[in-house]
Amino acid sequence: MIVEIGHFALVLSLSVALVQSVLPMFGAMRGDQRLMETGTIAATGCFVLIAIAFSALMTSYVTSDFSVLNVFENSNSKQPLLYKFTSTWGNHEGSMLLWVLILAFFGALVALFGRDLPATLKANVLSVQAWILTAFLLFILLTSNPFQRLDPAPMEGQDLNPILQDIGLAIHPPMLYLGYVGFSIAFSFAIAALIDGRIDAAWARWVRPWTLIAWIFLTLGISMGSYWAYYELGWGGWWFWDPVENASFMPWLAGTALLHSALVMEKRSALKIWTILLAILTFSLSLLGTFLVRSGVLTSVHAFATDPTRGVFILAILCFFIGGALVLFAIRASALEGGGLFAPISREGALVFNNLFLTTAAATVLVGTLYPLLLEVLTGEKISVGAPFFDLTFGPIMVPLLFAVPFGPLLGWKRGDLLGAAQRLYFAACCALAALIGILAYTGGTRILTAFGFGLAFWLLAGSLTDLFSRAAFLKKGWRTGLARLLGLPRSAFGTTLAHFGLGVTLLGIVSVSSFQEEVITTMAPGNSAEIAGYTLTFDRIAQRPGPNFEAQAAHFSVRRGGVVMTEMDSAKRFFPVRQMTTTESGIWTHGFSQLYVSLGDPSADKQSIVVRIWWKPLVTLIWIGTVFMAVGGVFSLADRRLRVGAPMRGHRKAALAEA
């Protein structure tokens, strides 16, 4: 019954979405206030209906209702409750339902919080949003119905893919989708502006918070996914340049560019056309990502099912939205007015530099991801493009960009003083030089690239703090006044600093792990020890440990340094009988920012010993900590926006409250 309600709600939401696709935009054309207002109700309605559908599916998962095909295929009554919940989106149909749920969620947010938007813009945005929703609801209902029944109902389900039974997976997809799908708002705003034929600085002010929210979630989502792959796959790698990873990374690069160009548009009303194009491209890359992951053209852990009709359907959606948007852009963009002038050396110039490099980087990732697919279609030849390709292309493009990051915030709008900025960065330059020389000395001059990497990381770390430090004027005005001035700075300044600082933190982690990681692969029997990075790892014993829906073989290790026991750790293999699959539970000991990582291989023929792979990963956690800094920076920037821009209305209300 619940399942049928869910299905019905989903069908109903499609009809509401159809209404929302037409009425508000028609109203905007006719200037009919009442028609325009239908958008708000429809958007809220869509969200509520899809939420009902999603809850219905989740209920069937939690109650292990195996009469639903989707539940039967991806769940098992013995799974822990948490993974019964997360199984809901650990499969193709469920994750598409989550996709539209989030799409409708953002639509409802615009409907409810966009009270201060001009009525026509809001109506158009909601209609465009509904077009996307309609397309994906059709996709779900026609090709990927999660509510398909199974008769007779089996007694037991087939279990969720064991490597997805992990807390990381509970959080990663919703986060990632909030990011991916969040960019749809920027897209809808861009299309609405093109349809309206009017665009101004206010447009950028409305779009930027939405883009920021999406960007924050995407940043955290990618980071979570990376950490999950790191500890769950047992390979000790944090980024594989897998096409699926690239699929999420491309919208991130474009979205980061969009954040920066929207800033120029908002402050100086320049780069309008470019920003519109970037908004379209960012969401197009999100759609492309959805296509790559969901269509089955790629084989990976994310490609749950391969059904050709689905691929064709998503490809059609992709072509319609990207093609349509670009055609509309080509027709209408020339009608938009150009913006303010600026010198090449200026804040605007720096942001253009940022955009140029970020979009080029996104383009190289795009080429590396799509080239093998195209080549196979055209010539039948199969190649794989992996880390070596991206090291050669993405790496060199990033270097000038990272070098330029500290300069950006120090340059003035319109006309900047490069020499003055450079002078203020002398402390950062000293830090970078010290790091560079330090590493050269430490490695005996053999690791020049590593030294430059560390230098660049410290340049970013110190350089991003320079702006705050010099604006607070600690040196000129003393600590007390300096601190007061620092706290008085706008939150967006903190946002910029934190995000750029986070970039430095991540870079430091990457450089450190890729240069100084140590690895030992050896066969160990209980009682044996291995040495790594000054630690002695002793294999104490191996034990069988039953889990709810698996059997674990856990190896117990103790870690000593100079004879003193530092910690004890378990590394395990889990065997899931339902799927006949084994997964690795790596043993990880975090010490400071570094980690000792142990994963188990196969037992030897006589079962007396086992292959053990041990890594020492210096400063590895900085890679993910840096992304948290970036996200927090985004939150600061968002907070600033709301206070300053959040429409005069709210400002008045606040003032009234303060007086009362």
Partner 1 sequence: MTRKAKRLYLIGAMLVVVGGAAGLVLTALSSSVAYFQSPTDLVTNAPAPTQRIRLGGLVEEGTVKRDGSSHVTFSVTDTVDSVPVTYTGILPDLFREGQGVIAEGTLGPDRVFLADTVLAKHDETYMPKEVVDDLKARGLWEDGKGLVNKPEETVSASPVSGAGS
Binding residues (CB under 8 A) for partner 1: these are 154, 156, 158, 161, 163, 234, 299-301, 341, 343-344, 352-353, 356-357, 360-361, 363-364, 367-368, 371-372, 381-386, 388-389, 391-393, 396-397, 521-523, 573, 577-584, 599-602, 604-605, 609, 611, 613
Cβ-based nearer residue to partner 1, 148 or 582: 582
Taking the CB of residue 170, how many other CB atoms lie within 10 A of it? 18
Cβ-based nearer residue to partner 1, 217 or 353: 353
Cβ-based nearer residue to partner 1, 99 or 342: 342
CB 465 within 8 A of CB 633: no
Rounded Cα distance between 656 and 660, Å, is 6
Beta bridge partners of 532: 535
Taking the CB of residue 233, how many other CB atoms lie within 10 A of it? 16
CB 164 within 8 A of CB 173: no
Determine the 3-state secondary structure of 63 from DSSP.
Answer: coil
Structure tokens at 121: 């813009």
Rounded Cα distance between 652 and 645, Å, is 12
Q: Concatenate the DSSP letters of all residues of 327-359 into one string.
A: HHHHHHGGGSPP-----SSSHHHHHHHHHHHHH
Closest separation between CB of residue 126 and partner 1, Å?
36
Structure tokens at 591: 């010490």
Cβ-based nearer residue to partner 1, 424 or 613: 613
Q: Amino acid letter at 365?
A: V
Cβ-based nearer residue to partner 1, 79 or 393: 393
Rounded Cα distance between 580 and 570, Å, is 23
Structure tokens at 157: 């389900």
The torsion angles phi and psi of 535, rounded to 5 degrees, stand at -105, 150
Cβ-based nearer residue to partner 1, 23 or 164: 164
Cβ-based nearer residue to partner 1, 40 or 76: 76
Cβ-based nearer residue to partner 1, 515 or 609: 609
Closest separation between CB of residue 244 and partner 1, Å?
12
Closest separation between CB of residue 77 and partner 1, Å?
11
The 8-class DSSP code of residue 305 comes to -
Cβ-based nearer residue to partner 1, 59 or 609: 609
Cβ-based nearer residue to partner 1, 492 or 599: 599
CB 246 within 8 A of CB 369: yes
Rounded Cα distance between 51 and 48, Å, is 5
Structure tokens at 360: 């080029």
Rounded Cα distance between 533 and 596, Å, is 9
Determine the 3-state secondary structure of 433 from DSSP.
Answer: helix
Rounded Cα distance between 537 and 539, Å, is 7
CB 435 within 8 A of CB 454: yes
Cβ-based nearer residue to partner 1, 488 or 544: 544
Cβ-based nearer residue to partner 1, 198 or 579: 579
Closest separation between CB of residue 243 and partner 1, Å?
12
> Token match 């997360």: residue?
86
Closest separation between CB of residue 366 and partner 1, Å?
10
Cis upstream peptide for 173 (omega within 30°): no
Closest separation between CB of residue 322 and partner 1, Å?
21
The torsion angles phi and psi of 556, rounded to 5 degrees, stand at -105, 130
CB contact set of 268 (below 8 Å; sequence gap of 6+): 339, 340, 342, 348, 413, 414
Closest separation between CB of residue 612 and partner 1, Å?
8
Closest separation between CB of residue 73 and partner 1, Å?
9
Closest separation between CB of residue 344 and partner 1, Å?
5
Closest separation between CB of residue 598 and partner 1, Å?
11
Closest separation between CB of residue 305 and partner 1, Å?
9
Rounded Cα distance between 128 and 107, Å, is 10
Closest separation between CB of residue 602 and partner 1, Å?
6
